[in-house]
């Protein structure tokens, strides 16, 4: 048995999230499992480094699976892509130690959230941005984002249905930049709670359009209360950019 590491990109528009769900065939893991079976002839469930919600996209999602196959590890990228739909693509594959588990090693994960800040919606970006026509104050959003960097209790930015035992997380960097008519929020952290990045994006947007002052972000964080933060931004603006593992696989 070899453990194979996959870096996967996908457009999440048509899928009910990345994680396997009972009775739900339209997930990223379900399609990867079927492709692995088609390539190797045996059942093997992929293990994801994390999960994304329905409608969320990825450029650098990580999965591993075990296979007893003559296919060289670096060739799975080609074999699996022949068996996957065009909106799911393996971009790299290689072998890792059998004890490597992507959810049990320290890693830095990066997400980007895109806001279309223009007078009119762009139909070519409906599935990839959150359309916010109201003018956004970039400097205010950048100032507010600085309060979130470091190790904190992020209960205020966690969906109330989360089952996480601890809400302590570390954000290593949070940037807010304007790229023509888009505002892009980029967050790198040790891990993220359920809806955490989308709630951060929604709160920053409300600060950007003047509903709250930038310094309110510190008060929101300290409150440890979901009702203190802003709205949960819609899923289509979010993209998982990638991982950096402390012991690179």
User: Which domains does the chain carry?
Assistant: 2-96 (3.30.70.580), 107-245 (3.30.70.660)
Q: Give me the pLDDT at residue 21, please.
A: 84
Distance CA 38, CA 2 (A): 17
Dihedral, 149, 152, 155, 161 alpha carbons, nearest 10: 90
- For residue 213, which of 139, 161, 157 has the smallest C-alpha distance? 139
Q: Give me the pLDDT at residue 248, please.
A: 52
- For residues 47 and 73, is the Cβ–Cβ distance under 8 A? no
- For residue 118, give both structure tokens: 């223009």
- For residue 60, give both structure tokens: 């650098």
- For residue 228, which of 125, 153, 140, 126 has the smallest C-alpha distance? 153
Q: With a cut of 50, which residues of the chain have pLDDT below it?
A: 249
pLDDT tens readout for residues 194-221:
999 999 999 999 999 999 999 999 999 9
Active site residues: 53
Q: Give me the pLDDT at residue 236, please.
A: 97
Q: Give me the pLDDT at residue 36, please.
A: 97
Q: Give me the pLDDT at residue 37, please.
A: 96
């Amino acid at each position: 048995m070899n453990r194979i590491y996959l870096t996967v990109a996908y457009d999440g528009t048509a899928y009910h999230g990345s994680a396997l769900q009972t009775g739900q065939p339209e997930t990223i893991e379900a399609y990867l499992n079927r492709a692995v079976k088609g390539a190797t002839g045996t059942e093997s469930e992929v293990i994801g480094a994390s999960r994304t919600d329905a409608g969320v996209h990825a450029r650098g999602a990580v999965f591993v699976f075990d296979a007893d196959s003559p296919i060289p590890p670096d060739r799975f990228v080609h074999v699996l892509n022949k068996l996957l739909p065009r909106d799911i693509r393996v971009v790299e594959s290689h072998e890792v130690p059998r004890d490597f588990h992507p959810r049990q090693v320290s890693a830095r994960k990066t997400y980007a959230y895109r806001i279309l800040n223009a007078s009119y919606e762009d139909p070519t970006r409906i599935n990839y941005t959150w359309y916010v026509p109201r003018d956004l104050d970039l400097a205010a959003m950048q100032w507010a984002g600085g309060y979130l960097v470091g190790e904190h209790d992020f209960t205020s930015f966690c969906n109330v249905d989360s089952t996480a035992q601890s809400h302590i997380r570390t954000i290593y960097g949070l940037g807010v930049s304007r790229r023509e008519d888009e505002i892009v929020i980029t967050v790198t952290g040790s891990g993220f709670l359920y809806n955490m990045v989308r709630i951060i994006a929604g709160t920053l947007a409300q600060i950007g359009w003047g509903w709250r002052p930038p310094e309110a972000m510190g008060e929101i964080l300290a409150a440890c209360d979901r009702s203190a933060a802003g709205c949960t931004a819609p899923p289509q603006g979010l993209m998982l950019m990638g991982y950096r593992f402390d012991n690179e696989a």
